[in-house]
Each structure stands twice: as structure tokens, then as C-alpha cells.
Amino acid sequence: MALTLYAHPFSSYCQKVLIALYENGTPFELRLLAPDQPAAREFAALWPLKRMPVLVDDGRTVVESSVIVEHLGLFHPGPVRLLPEDPRDALPVRTMDRVFDNYVMTPMQRIVLDALRAPADRDPFGVAEARAQLDTAYRWLDGALAGHDWAAGDAFSLADCAAAPSLFYADWAHPMSEEFATLRAYRKRLLARPSFARAVDEARPYRQFFPLGAPDRD
């Protein structure tokens, strides 16, 4: 039975899973999550918390993007191993995956979601806090990425699947300073990776929905 992914191509967490699928050429059916699509009702029945993406594999529902990527590696392995087989080697990959999700993706989304609120309901203190956290994360990542091509070493991994959409949108929401040359070069490498380039291209039709205004680049 084919894999079914409930997702939207403009979502950062959905792109994280799409990258993993594209890296290994894994066949799947995309069920587009949009208000006018029937997939939205199916999605709500599968996962009442309504956080995308959701993968259905032969009747099994798999949630949370990192877990979905690990599930794909276990049950639908391909030529690109996104998590090392040795648990000790896998720890740095999982660590960087959490760094990008928690300390780049989360503050970026805090800024974006605030822009969707009515002006009277906005939280300038929370946005300032999120921007400061991004600056701290950028600085730490600029040092942590020195000396190797990918997030957790010399091999593309789950950590890079997380890094690509988080850094992509974070730089839109809170641009990286010129001083973070290593991090900026890493973001550029991610954009050149065919799996992420495909995800970015598939999301282009939705750029007008970015509440802060999508920059005329990338």
C-alpha cells in the first residue's frame, strides 16, 4: 500500500518530511491540507491535535516530523540513510534536529504567528524575545557548523531535513547578519540540495500568504 502524507507544501514541518521522501525517491500520495480540500476532514479524524504533517503507512498513523523521518528510514529505507545505524553516531544528528526545531523553527513561528494577529492582540515583547533567541541560535550555529558541510558532520541527515525549512523561513522573518558567514553559506548549500530545491519550488505558489511578506529572493 502506498504511503499517504497529509501536508501542505508551504509548511516548514511538512517540508522537513518532503525532503526525506525526495532524498530517497520514496513514492507517496500527497493529500493536500487546505480548507477547501476533503483531506482536511480525514486529517482531523486521524490526528485530533491537527498538527501537520501526518503519514499513513498501511493503516498506521505516524505523527511528528522527526518521527516520520525515522519511520521512513526503518520501514522504507533508501540509498540515503538520514539517521546513522549506530545509536552513538545518531545522537549528534538527533541533537541538531532538536536544535533546529526548538531554537530556530519555534521562535521563527512565534514571529510569524504574531503577524497574523489583530494589531490589538500582538505581543511585541514576545516577538523581541523570539528575535533575540534567533540571534543567539544563529551565533551558536555559525560556530557549530564550522569545518563540515552538513549539520551533524559530512553526511546529509535528518538534522539537515530540519535545518533547511527552519533556516529558510527564519532568514525571512529575522535576517541573518552578514557576520554569520558560515551559517549563511550552509543555508545556501541547503537551497542547492535537489530535494530541498524541489520542496521550495513546490511551495512558490503560496508565497503571497507569508504574513511578513516573502522577500524577492530564494
Quote the mean pLDDT of the chain.
96
How far is CA 42 from each of CA 47, 61, 150, rounded to the nearest angstrom? 9, 12, 36
Residue 96's pLDDT band, with cuts at 50, 70 and 90, is: very high
- In the prediction, which pLDDT does 154 show? 95
Residue type, 67: V
Largest Cα separation within the chain, whole Å, is 51
Tell me how crowded residue 106 is: count the other CB atoms within 10 A of its CB. Answer: 15
Spatial CB neighbours of 185, under 8 Å, sequence gap ≥ 6: none
CA 71 to CA 183: how far, in whole Å? 29
For residues 12 and 189, the answer to whether their CB atoms sit within 8 Å is no
Residue 25 DSSP code: T
- Average the pLDDT over 174-202 and give the result: 98
Average pLDDT over residues 20-40: 93
Tens-place pLDDT, residues 135-165? 999 999 999 999 999 999 999 999 999 999 9
pLDDT at 61 over 80: yes
